[in-house]
Amino acid sequence: MTPRPASSPRPSDEARPSPGEPNAPESPRTKADPAPRRKTAAKRDAAPAADSAVGRKTGAPAPAAGGSGTGTRRRSGGTVGGESADTRTGSAAPSYDGTPEPSFAAAAGEAARPSAGAGEDAVSAPGMQARAASTPATGADGGTGATAPNAPDRAGSSGRDSGMPARTPSAPAGQAPAPTGRSRTAGAASGALPRAGADAGASTGRGAATADSGAGAGTGAGGTTGPRPIARPGVRPVPPLDPGERQRLLSGTHHDPHGLLGAHPTPDGVVFRALRPFARSVAVVAGGLRAELGSEGDGLFAGVLPLSKIPDYRLAVAYDESEEREFHDPYRFLPALGELDLHLISEGRHEELWGALGAHPMTYEGVAGTRFTVWAPNARGVRLAGDFNFWDASGFPMRSLGSSGVWELFAPGIGEGALYKFDIARPDGSHTLRADPMARRTQCPPETASIVTASHHTWEDAEWMAHRGDRRVHQSPFSVYEVHLPSWRPGLSYRQLADQLPAYVKGLGFTHVELMPVAEHPYSPSWGYQVTSYYAPTARLGTPDDFKYLVDALHRAGIGVIVDWVPAHFPKDDWALARFDGTTLYEPADPTRAEHPDWGTLEFDYGRNEVRNFLVANAVYWCEEFHVDGLRVDAVASMLYLDYSREGGEWTPNEFGGRENLDAVRFLQEMNATVYRRCPGVVTIAEESTAWDGVTRATHHPGPGGFGGLGFGLKWNMGWMHDSLGYVSKEPVHRKYHHNEMTFSMVYAYSENYVLPISHDEVVHGKQALVSKMPGDWWQRRANHRAYLGFMWAHPGKQLLFMGQEFAQGAEWSEAHGPEWWLLDDTYHSAGDHRGVRDLVRDLNHVYTANAPLWERDTDPTGFTWVEGGAADDNVFTFTRHDAFGNPVLCVSNFSPVVRHDYRLGVPDADASWQEILNTDAACYGGSGVRNADVVKPEAVAWHGRRHSITVALPPLATVWFRPV
């Protein structure tokens, strides 16, 4: 593979006392799930792979010490606990059977070979120092095995291991022998080593090459002439890295750091290389023995040990005067992500994407740590930064897994609670620090780091989950209480809300709650509709498990949970999704398509497989991981039309010359089909404000325009909301001129499956609260409010009411303080007025749920019949609703402020009498108390085209429901 040009390194930060090392516990605080046993894939740019890997059980025997095979080893794949593969130029690498070596001495003995010089001694020293040894041994000349102070950064080499020229810098002239013990010079420290024979300290063989000079610097037992170089018995220097490779590695633009770092078998032994910026010393430790690596400068340490196979080793690292600590080497592991995962990601069909990308604590090959993966296909390099390395990413480069665009690193010792981001090298060589798009937990805004997390919640809603799909939502009672969690009871956490919200909603009789967006967002006044972390519940109220606890509590109370979901656009924050890898990745490349003209945000590129997969999997994620029962999809209209809020010349037609966004159509169809297939009982709801055909039609049923349906379960009826609110906001004397605004909805009521929404959007930004939209004095406004709710609950379609409107709050909603609960307090003189409206909403829900004609045939035209829809002069609307057996409920709304006595209504042919089951003018609700206390018997008087009729009293500004008895 032709190497990519190296970028300029970033300006280095001020040196820190001990950067680059995990300060988290060596293993996660909780038991991690085992990694999946799947094959892995990576970039294959060399010869075909052979079965071998660091620390992998393959069963293949190790090659002889002098076996053939030269070149650079590249890791290319493997499985957790299964087969593995390496790609080496020219030959297969020796394999490791996974059995810890009894001692390095035995391995060194097996690998003993003549040194480069003719007649020189064979290597007999194991090359590893017993860790218990504290006193350096001395040779015949009294020298020690300590490292000389001010030793050069790079060890010499004959170049035999990789065919590169040897680097043989000489020791500084006149340099005195080093004192006993470890030098404090960064990168040049070496503990005293036991001698291999009487003259081991002066050996001139390659096995005794020193950090100060090239091979053969020593002279033997008789002493030295001039400063005597210090020998590391058995540890040989490594040829220097290619300058281009080194530059890319250090600048964070190398696609395969694992090919340079870690342990790599060669014909001459095992090459160890570590990148530990600012470290004083790095040693390889295994089986109670250790070997110091020589410094190559810039935080690189390397050495060749005379071993036939790669041991189960750790790195012992020391910084300045700090105590030495041991760590597992992140670069000894094969990819912890399977080939199937990568294939599905590339095709945009990974329905459990959250399990493949992001940060996942796990135990991999017996080592506890966290697997980090991120999709950044146009990055020149990606590194990992976090609190575990003092936000210095230079020592944690990630590897590219081939053409998938995924970068991966398994980081041992990093567990739950660790903060992290990805340091991404853009195509122009500059760097950007980004939060994880797949983060499942984040810091609380304004902080922006991602957090390693794993769920420990034990669900207790098995009964709910087992039966939520027993009956279709269209044929079930469905009344929704819309909630903005942060402001419903300001200051409460998810768990505290779980103690109050379920009981309140259940007491009011609502069947579901709809939560305004709970995914993490940086700007609170956006109410959650500008999302930066699509897979993380907002940390403002607690952890992901805390949110699960809230959903669990709602389910146990018999309340379904719908979550607002925002796939239409995302904000431009430079630490989030916008130009994530330095290119237009999640957004379209065409700026006229990318910019959302209304909100100053960016639209998603729905035509890109990986982006579409990111969103489809996210929809499934909320339903499966958080047991959410529905998704209300925001701003669907802005997704469907290329010319949405754009003037002529500001948009480009689709391939057929139309204004439909065909990519968005395909995305919505795939999302709905996937959610309904995987999550029985879940409903998707579209906030779609146009007359797009087939929003709630099945995706495989084409409509008049040739499109299949979008596949939503329900759609907000924005037309009904707009028209009906316009009607009730008029003075009663003028309403007869707007009568059709209340009846027009029935012209299209069965074209889609509708929800009737009085949502947050209707009670903010100068639109006034629902009760404040009504004309008249305080009594009349409340009466209008109650009558309107009664009409809404009886109209075909499901109901949604925003918090605060259930008790006629007069002020607009504000996310800063939420509902005005004080209006219900006994100390407030009008508290009874507000409690009366709240009691009506409770009774509306209970009577509605108990009477199937009001909900069972919401989507069936046979479930509704006008009795009188043209009484404009009276401001009266009369209709019947029917269940599957034809049983009726008679609904009458009088939007005039006068009592209409003996008002005659035609009724279905029946011998039954009619009983009032709900009256919004009841005195207990704050009304005037005009009622039909007795049952009303039909008369054989033809009226409204029916053979029988009844006469009733219609209260002023009220809705009354009757049923036959």
CA neighbours closer than 13 Å in the CB half-sphere of residue 811: 11
Taking the C-alpha atoms of residue 898 and residue 680, their distance in angstroms, rounded to an integer, is 49
Helices 718-728 and 778-794, interaxial angle, to 10°? 150
Taking the C-alpha atoms of residue 954 and residue 920, their distance in angstroms, rounded to an integer, is 11
Taking the C-alpha atoms of residue 826 and residue 832, their distance in angstroms, rounded to an integer, is 8
Q: For 118-152, give one letter per residue: b (16+ CB within 10 A) or e.
A: eebbebbbbbbbeeeeeebbebebebbbbbbeebb
Burial of 321 (0-12, 13-18, 19+ CB in 10 A): exposed
Give yes or no: 634 in active site: yes
Taking the C-alpha atoms of residue 156 and residue 215, their distance in angstroms, rounded to an integer, is 7
- Asked if the bond preceding 446 is cis, omega within 30° of 0, the reply is yes
Rg over CA atoms, the chain = 37
The three-state (H, E, C) secondary structure of 401-413, written as one string: CHHHCEEEEEEEC
Give yes or no: 416 in active site: no
Angle of CA points 543, 547, 550, to nearest 5°: 140
The amino acid present at 369, given as its one-letter code, is G
State the residue for tokens 């939209």.
773
With beta carbons less than 8 A apart as the criterion, state whether 521 and 531 touch.
yes
Question: Which of 16, 38, 22 minimizes the C-alpha distance to 411?
Answer: 22
With beta carbons less than 8 A apart as the criterion, state whether 383 and 396 touch.
yes
Q: 687, 688, 762, 921: which is the annotated catalytic residue?
A: 687
Q: Which residues contact 510 (CB under 8 A, 6 or more apart)?
A: 479, 480, 481, 559, 845
Q: 634, 820, 856, 858: which is the annotated catalytic residue?
A: 634
State the residue for tokens 């003719």.
118
Burial of 463 (0-12, 13-18, 19+ CB in 10 A): exposed
Query: What single-letter DSSP state applies at residue 922?
Result: -
As annotated, the active-site residues are 634, 687
